[in-house]
Chain A
Amino acid sequence: MTESVLECRDLVKVYAVGSIRRRRIEALRGVTLSVHRGDVYGFLGENGAGKTTTIRCLLGLTHPTSGEMRVFGRDRPGPRELFSRAAYCPEESNFFTGITGRELLRLYGRLHGLAGAELEKRVDRALDEVDLRKNADRRIEGYSKRMRQRVGLAQAVLPQPELIILDEPARGLDPVGRRRFRDVILDHAARGTTFFINSHTLSEVERTCTRVGIIKSGRVIRELAPRDLVEDPEALEIIYEIPGEPLGGSERADGQGFRLRVQGTAAMAEAAAEIARRGGRVESAGTLRKSLEDYFIQVVGDEDVVS
């Protein structure tokens, strides 16, 4: 059985707001999820769904009202225990900006107990990984948003933790920056690091994550592997050419010919026979690939879907 690195069960967080008339806001209404060792886990949800609150609960930056939470098999470990094995890269790279990128990494490295030649080696390696060596000796206040996010990632990978929690790593990044982030994540994942990624960039999640959890209104409504998400064995697609009128429900394909979507192999065989009868030719047929974005919109839009 795969070891669970991070586990939440019925996590509830209620905020009381207002000083005179107290209002209760339920940010989390029973989050249940599990991240296994070696997973690259994508945590998806609309704005205000509870993604950031879940992450803050996991990091001990806020306290859940109720529910169970286990990290590395320990029930709510303290910061020393948790962060000697886990690292966090915040959404907004809010670091002290009055020092250089290298100084910041050295400082954080020392907090992880690194020192001397080992610290310098790790700092250089982290800077190389995020391609920041050239600007490492400049003050962070002069960095662009992309460079600050790279420093954020560098400080997270520096101690070579077993678990890295990333909050919106690709937000505001250009394609080159996103590619660099993805490469670093995949490289570390290949070496056995577990990732928990909170993201809105579905295309990145689709390319990077091995498992995905979708949160809606403070509850995780789906938790599965992207492979299962994007391939629906019952949804099939036929690309064909036909001399006369196309079959009903067809639409023009990108190249020549038409595209017809059918449900199930029997319907596909029927359609292929009809195409042949009308003198047409089937160019290709196969499983209809659904994008994660389509799936996400479908799932999040369905009010009744609750696990």
Chain B
Amino acid sequence: MRVFVLWRYAWLRLARAHYLKALFGMAFFVGGAVAWTNTEAITPLGQMSSLELGMKVARTFLWLAAVWIGAGALAGEISAQTARTLMTKPVSRFEIAVGMLGGGFAYLALMIVIFAAEIHLICWWRGIPVDWRLEYLLLTLLVPLVAVMAMAQLFSLLAARPVAIFFAVLLSFESLGRSLAERLEAGDVLGAFQQPAAAAAHAVYLAMPTYGRFVMSYTEFSRIGPAVGPLLFHSAAALLYALGIAAFSSFVLSRKDV
């Protein structure tokens, strides 16, 4: 079970990285501060309860953390030259790629558990009835976060870290790829190339594990509740995506000069 050893390795690396501790502390503070305000009050961001806004803040931080961790996992190992020692052990490149994602998964899971505890504590303190669906929703975030992390990891092997982060963030937006494909389909700027370009944009959009595709909003979740079927389907799809991208990352890694 070498992949679990690599999980532990990645976990140790993340747990001892100071910038991640800072990011985590910031997320904890901001998420908590927003959730602390009046639950029923209308927030500056529109018709949204402060608790939901707190959730959104937490989710955004988790998403950014996933992009950051993914972009730094393998690329960081290569730039620090620690990859040379790791890659000269009897482990396949796929195990390394999955192991790194596993470490990130564990780190994000810890962040989510602490977030959930924080929000619960605030609810308890303010006398708001505890809504267990909140944790359930937070935990379901883990799977799409791994897909995002896998995507950032792949980009970081293909380009420099800032470029990788930029593209990972860009492709994480659900609406961006869809609107591009729709605009291409509707318009007529490229002449004969219009339809192939629209088809390509649709294919890229469908192929990209955009964050929004796998994650439910709080409102949507509140409406359907913790329905096991759709959640399992979402999770399985996202995990398959993550594994597929990890396989592609391992192929890139095996062709890369380390």
Which residues does A use to contact B, with CB under 8 Å?
A: 15, 56, 59-63, 78-84, 87-88, 90, 92, 94-96, 98-99, 107-108, 110-113, 155
B258 at interface by CB-CB < 8 Å: yes
Interface residues of B in 70-92 (CB under 8 A from A): 80-82, 84-85, 87-92
B85 touches A90 (CB 8 A): yes
Q: Which of B6, B9, B16, B87 contacts A61 (CB 8 A)?
A: B87
Of all chain B residues, the one with the shortest Cβ separation from A81 is B90
B12 at interface by CB-CB < 8 Å: yes
B40 at interface by CB-CB < 8 Å: no
A108 touches B87 (CB 8 A): no
Of all chain A residues, the one with the shortest Cβ separation from B1 is A110
Instruction: Give the chain B neighbours of A113 by CB distance below 8 A.
Output: 2, 90
A83 touches B88 (CB 8 A): yes
Q: Which of B6, B8, B85, B91 contacts A95 (CB 8 A)?
A: B85
Instruction: Give the chain B neighbours of A83 by CB distance below 8 A.
Output: 88-91
Instruction: Give the chain A neighbours of B255 by CB distance below 8 A.
Output: 63
Instruction: Give the chain A neighbours of B213 by CB distance below 8 A.
Output: none
Which residues does B use to contact A, with CB under 8 Å?
A: 2, 5-6, 8-9, 12-13, 16, 80-82, 84-85, 87-93, 255, 257-258
15 CB < 8 A contacts A-B: A15-B257, A56-B258, A59-B87, A60-B87, A62-B257, A80-B90, A82-B90, A83-B89, A83-B90, A90-B85, A94-B82, A98-B16, A107-B8, A110-B2, A113-B2
A107 touches B9 (CB 8 A): yes
CB distance from B56 to the nearest CB of A (A): 33
B90 touches A94 (CB 8 A): no
A111 touches B84 (CB 8 A): no
Instruction: Give the chain A neighbours of B6 by CB distance below 8 A.
Output: 111
Number of A-B residue pairs having CB atoms within 8 Å of each other in the complex: 76
Q: Which of B90, B93, B257 contacts A111 (CB 8 A)?
A: B90
A62 touches B85 (CB 8 A): no
Q: Which of A61, A63, A99, A111 contacts B89 (CB 8 A)?
A: A111
Q: How far is the CA of A63 from the CA of B257 in the complex (A)?
A: 7
Q: Which of A56, A78, A90, A95 contacts B92 (CB 8 A)?
A: A78
Contacts known (A61-B258, A63-B257, A110-B5); A96 close to B82, Cβ less than 8 A:
yes
B91 touches A90 (CB 8 A): no
Contacts known (A63-B255, A110-B5, A155-B85); A94 close to B80, Cβ less than 8 A:
yes
B12 touches A96 (CB 8 A): yes
Q: Which of B16, B81, B91, B258 contacts A80 (CB 8 A)?
A: B91
